[in-house]
Structure 1
């Protein structure tokens, strides 16, 4: 049976949004013989298990002001306001300034970027992320495992399937990306509210980043089993871990180290200094 993997967030991605934040990548195994079933509700509704933030005392991590973290030089003409419909085209236009080259477009979904970006973070602490609630395209190639009798584990060759995502993350100009995040933040906050969520979206982002950064190192040689037509961790505790942490068990130690290093840099740019 051939197996394919869907990229999920965070940091993902690579967790936490390489394009607007650089993170949150979540991986879900799904054999090709079992078609993925998604409904309109999975792409529009936030996960029911996500706690609603209390905003009575204001945001814990207000985004940096545009004067403190501006994309443009002093005196430059202020860029035109963006809408949810025009963010994708602006990302395509700015791609080289984000990543230093024109490569990597195929890794990111820029259509409906704002909504998918917010959904990715909303679902990041669930055990699964709906297939459409992510900004990442499906990783290429077949999922690689090693079998020893009844024992199945991830083959180390599988980690190389994420090399292109890691290269994109490594090349990312996080200062430029975080400035773009500040620019589109009103759209992100509006989309968050439209989903019926209370609170400050950037607080949610920082919480997800913190979970990835603080996650324990992946257990070596974790065993896999097939459950419901897809691979899952045999260890129930591992399988029940939040999506943003399970990604670390699936992308390999080298990519995990890079992800954490870059997320620490990103957090310092997006979190309040208070």
Structure 2
């Protein structure tokens, strides 16, 4: 697994609440042109701030350059004509770091380079559309608990759904994953530029997102949620996808931060510790 697949998996393990944010994100949004894979091409990088950043003057060089490979490391790959051609190589990298069953159970491998780059970028934004994740949604159904005062909170047992994902993430050799990331970095950079950031650097964006997620406060108490009312003649068959945080400050966090909070404090701490290891290597 590349380092970026690890990061995406760190956060998306939690995200199959649905949430109103996810429902709104399923609508197409404007994107910069040259991304060619159909599923990813519809995905924005892309709120107004992102569009402004993409059109601003590019920096003179990377703020967080990838260091030179150590003796014995394989040299970085050259960019490819079509990023979809990199799928077999990505499967090979995953197979070297995870069991075959984990690869099949957890990952979406078609157009995976673009999926990883778009998702990492979106984790620092208000929305991270599920249809272009590089990982499969967490199985099971989001559950809540109602207190005596009528306030609804995330059920303590809800975090159990994410335990297999957390164990899988903790099983990855981060040093080996970083070596793979450094070798594959030209492909990630190519996908980032195709997304609409020519002259900018994917590793700089990765460091920004990591810093944001690592700084997400841990809440040990059960977090209050509200069920968003949807008016209409058709009764909702999946009401559990319409919950959002009751606290406006939490509801306004980035997609990645909200995902961390949904996992529960124990899983959040464990994954933030893993992200700190990744942050140390990529800077």
What is the TM-score when the length of structure 2 is the normalising length?
0.77
Structure with the bigger percentage of helix: 2
> Partner of 1:252 in structure 2?
264
Counterparts of 1:213-228 in structure 2, within 5 Å, are 213-218=214-219, 220-228=221-229
Secondary structure, in 3 states, of the residue corresponding to 1:176?
helix
Matched length: 247
What is the CA-CA distance between 1:235 and the residue it aligns to?
0.6
In 2, Cα distance between equivalents of 1:244 and 1:152: 22
Please state how far the C-alpha of 1:221 moved relative to its aligned partner.
1.7
| 1:266 and 2:278 are equivalent in the alignment | yes
Conserved 8 A contact 1:21-1:177: no
Residues of 2 paired with 1:70 and 1:36: CA distance? 47
Q: For the structure 1 residues 21 and 237, does the alpha-carbon distance in structure 2 shift closer, same or farther, using more than 3 Å as the test?
A: closer
Q: Residues 117-148 of structure 1: CA distance to partner in whole angstroms, max 9, x if unpaired? A: 11112211222211223212111111111123
Instruction: Flag structure 2 segments of 5+ consecutive residues without an equivalent.
Output: 31-41, 231-241
CA 1:95–1:213 in 2, change beyond 3 Å: closer, same or farther? same
Shift in alpha-carbon separation, 1:265–1:239, aligned structure 2, 3 A? same
1:1-274 equivalent positions in 2, closer than 5 A: 17-19=4-6, 23-25=10-12, 27=15, 29-30=17-18, 38-39=26-27, 41=29, 43-48=42-47, 49-50=49-50, 52=53, 55-65=58-68, 67-68=69-70, 71-72=73-74, 83=80, 84-99=83-98, 101-105=99-103, 106-148=105-147, 150-198=150-198, 199-218=200-219, 220-229=221-230, 230-271=242-283
Asked if the contact 2:113/2:187 (under 8 Å) is kept, the reply is yes
CA separation of 1:128 and 1:21: change in aligned 2, threshold 3 A: closer
Inter-partner Cα distance in structure 2 for 1:196 and 1:170: 33
**Residue range with higher mean Cα deviation, 17-26 or 200-209:** 17-26
